[in-house]
Structure 1
Amino acid sequence: MSSWHSLGLEVTYQVLGWVAFCSWSLSFYPQAILNYHRKSVVGLNFDFLVLNLTKHMAYLIYNASLYFSPAVQRQYHQKYGDNEMIPVALNDVAFSTHAVLLTGFTVLQVLIYERGGQRVSKVCVAITIVVWASAAGCFFSALRSHSWLWLISVFNSIQVAMTAIKYIPQAFMNFMRKSTVGWSIGNILLDLFGAVTNFAQMGIQSLDQHSLVNFYGNIGKTLLSLEVVFFDLLFIVQHYLLYPIRKVNNSTVEDV
């Protein structure tokens, strides 16, 4: 197994990884705090929540398997070479675990706070059922052939697909309401910073190893960062340019 060539780059890699972990982990709290203060989840799209929970569960399965499982790591090295480093760091596993817990907590808030008639769409329910049914089928297929790297790659593909579509319902809701009230911009700013530092961490590893394998060997992490940057910039434009905060009854409507 390959090792680091530069201590400085290794330290930078670890620092960037944990900065990304902190930023991405903290990004869950502004929305939860906003919901608590408003005692309402009106403005938060429920399809986004369900798809987000599916995404983070799939990402946790991928990260934890590749980081902890010797069998998966062995198959990774067989495919990409014994000298290649495993492209998942401890901060990736920690983030995924935290993300599942905090997204679950936000789902709990939906159950107890004012919803304003909002509900999960039938399309979202259908997508979720198809995704997990397909994942179960892949699991039983891998069980026979012991294709564990292929199986976790399926979960990595799920998280990429869910990241690509999970933001769409919220962006569309903001467009229809011509407002981002109830949708925390603090979440988006932290999410964006986490994506940039996550991508930079991968770049540091490539620089040290003189290889781009970690980018396509963990294509899910690469695409995750790019997708998050795209949609976060879209939400920033919606919040600050298209639908800025306005005065209501001589008071300012504020988002956390």
Structure 2
Amino acid sequence: MAASWNSTSLEITYQVLGWTAFVSWSISFYPQVILNFRRKSVVGLNFDFVLLNLTKHSSYLIYNATLYFSAAVQKQYHDKYGHGQMIPVAANDVAFSIHAVLLTAVTLFQIAIYDRGTQKISKVSIGIVSAVWLGAAVCFFIALPSHTWLWLISVFNLIQVSMTVIKYIPQAVMNFARKSTDGFSIGNILLDFLGGCANYAQMAVQSIDQNSWVNFYGNIGKTLLSLVSIFFDLLFMFQHFVLYRSKEVPASHESKDKQDPLAKTSSFDPRQPENV
């Protein structure tokens, strides 16, 4: 028999925190889509970020939707972690993943139809995404004979965590190299931080109610997603508000970027805000 909530107040708190994370993370997708539509141009948008983000959210959707809706996968989860444990995926996790994939796909469509200038997706990004999906396909055929679906979706869960780390690191490095966060949207980071904290707190509330911390390592992807997001958000806030406060990139640096064709096709443009 599957576990149920012991405290109604904790269950309500769990739902509130989950939908807070959903709203915070979801809102951050819209400014870029609206800006692209108004300009009828995607010049300055980071194409590599969009492609990596689509891989991340697609992988996360596969994990969340499968574990939330599949009775067979839920049974494998209970067999592994105990039948008294609650499934660590909530409705808001599924809703966020669906929303994220749709909005990221819309952004890719905008890249296809709007003015792109000289920008293009880098070969490195294409190579990473190709390797990830090839590896996922191999894992599928490994899991197929024995129907080890829980292991398979755990692979997708770890893919989304890896994509999260990859997309954040270049931005942090470039902020350091430029000694400035000028042009980088701190609003998106603040929303991401709120979502990450709410997501992590949601898991803590479930653990307190069940008097078990299994859901933290039973859904290691969600745990790492929150921790990685919070870590990089704190780093970005430290860069923006402390290290490089009120500092702008020197005019000479900006002029060099305009003259350098590599700067125009850079995979990670520090002057471009990212969606979470």
| Equivalent residue, structure 2, for 1:96 | 97
Instruction: Trace 1:190-229 onto structure 2 (pairs within 5 A).
Output: 190-229=191-230
Structure 1 unaligned segments of length 5 or more: list them.
248-252
Letter in 1 for 2:198: T
TM-score, length basis structure 2: 0.82
| Equivalent residue, structure 1, for 2:256 | none
| Equivalent residue, structure 2, for 1:68 | 69
| Equivalent residue, structure 2, for 1:19 | 20
- Matched residues in 1 for 2:107 and 2:86: separation? 35
Offset of residue 167 of structure 1: 1.8
Q: Is 1:128 aligned to residue 132 of structure 2?
A: no
Instruction: Trace 1:100-111 onto structure 2 (pairs within 5 A).
Output: 100-111=101-112
Offset of residue 244 of structure 1: 4.2
Report runs of 4+ in structure 1 exceeding 6 Å deviation: none
Instruction: Answer yes or no: is the 8 Å Cα contact 1:178–1:243 preserved in 2.
Output: no
- Matched residues in 1 for 2:178 and 2:121: separation? 17
| Equivalent residue, structure 1, for 2:160 | 159
Instruction: Trace 1:227-238 onto structure 2 (pairs within 5 A).
Output: 227-238=228-239
Equivalent residue of 2:57, what SS? helix
CA shift in 2, pair 1:237/1:116, >3 Å:
farther
- Matched residues in 1 for 2:38 and 2:174: separation? 21
Instruction: Answer yes or no: is the 8 Å Cα contact 2:179–2:247 preserved in 1.
Output: no
Offset of residue 94 of structure 1: 0.3
Offset of residue 14 of structure 1: 0.7
- Matched residues in 2 for 1:170 and 1:213: separation? 33
Structure 2 unaligned segments of length 5 or more: list them.
250-270
Equivalent residue of 1:144, what SS? coil
Instruction: Answer yes or no: is the 8 Å Cα contact 1:45–1:169 preserved in 2.
Output: no
- Matched residues in 2 for 1:182 and 1:111: separation? 24
TM-score, length basis structure 1: 0.88
Instruction: Answer yes or no: is the 8 Å Cα contact 1:31–1:184 preserved in 2.
Output: no
Letter in 1 for 2:49: F
Deviations 1:110-150 (A, max 9, x none): 23444442322211111111100010011111111100100
Equivalent residue of 1:145, what SS? coil
- Matched residues in 1 for 2:186 and 2:107: separation? 16
- Report the count of equivalent residues: 252
CA shift in 2, pair 1:116/1:238, >3 Å:
farther
Instruction: Answer yes or no: is the 8 Å Cα contact 1:44–1:170 preserved in 2.
Output: no
CA shift in 2, pair 1:40/1:237, >3 Å:
farther
Instruction: Answer yes or no: is the 8 Å Cα contact 2:181–2:248 preserved in 1.
Output: no
Letter in 1 for 2:224: L
Deviations 1:139-185 (A, max 9, x none): 11111110010000110111111111122234445555666566433
CA shift in 2, pair 1:246/1:38, >3 Å:
farther
Residue identity (%): 68
Deviations 1:197-255 (A, max 9, x none): 000100100000001000000010000001111222233344445274769xxxxx9x8
